[in-house]
Amino acid sequence: MDKRPLMKKVKTPEEACVFLRMCVREIGEGFHPDILGADYENRKSKRTFTSAQAWKFDTNMRKVFDFIKDPCKVALDLYNVQYGRKD
């Protein structure tokens, strides 16, 4: 997954929003900003990220929390848009 934009380094608030949007799209409904990269698994119970990828993911997510006041709410709003929900 290193070549995907999900692993591009987050440096600005705008990139933090893009990163969250990509997480919702790429990881799907199992995504939550509080979950560490090493804890994600696919449907076959295999780790989604290698150790290096998980470290990059976590580094980006820390930046997201630095730039966005409530990334959990933003992620939920993105879910609702992505999946057409009105919760």
What predicted TM-score, i.e. pTM, was given to this entire model?
Answer: 0.84
- C-alpha 45/C-alpha 4 separation (Å) is 21
Place of tokens 């969250």: 20
Q: pLDDT tens across 32-81, in order?
A: 999 999 999 988 999 999 999 999 999 999 999 999 999 999 999 998 98
> Which one has a higher pLDDT value, 19 or 4?
19
Domain of 73? 11-82
Any domain includes 2? no
Any domain includes 60? yes
47: DSSP letter: B
Any domain includes 16? yes
Contact yes or no for 30/40 (Cβ under 8 A): yes
